[in-house]
Structure 1
Amino acid sequence: MAQATPTRSHAQDPRRLRRQRVIAGLNQKQAAAQAGIAASHLCRMELGKVGASEATLHTLARLYGCDVERLMPDEQTAAAS
């Protein structure tokens, strides 16, 4: 049986991720269902406990009506970490 290639996870900004979801008028369950991911995974992403794959970030950005960059930490925040 072939082993699946792991997807690379990215460090999204949990607060921005949640904020964009709220702006889009979706609760976690709705957003997760429309994005094709588990609500528990979206919850962990919004808490900063797990990263998101590039594909998931793009899906969420489209769903929320924003650019992927809007879900990422800004350069000043990233540099301070």
Structure 2
Amino acid sequence: MEAQVFQALLVFVYTDTWPEVEQEDEPAMSQHLLVAADRYGLERLKLMCEDKLISHIDSNSVATLVSLAHTSSVPK
């Protein structure tokens, strides 16, 4: 896990809020946080990540999101 992702995960754990992320970094951070949330059983964070990712679905991100869904326990 990258340090930036771990820091964002800690922000969520301690504040129960979405960490501040640069707008252009939000899709990538959401993907990384979704994997971390799945690993550590943080259901609320998983839902927040899914909500963020839904707004960034386009033809360039579909393959990545499908792959992510197959590797995590996110409902398909």
Structure number with the higher strand fraction is 1
The one of the two structures with greater contact order (alpha-carbon pairs below 8 A, sep at least 6) is: 1
State TM-score, norm by structure 2: 0.29
State TM-score, norm by structure 1: 0.28
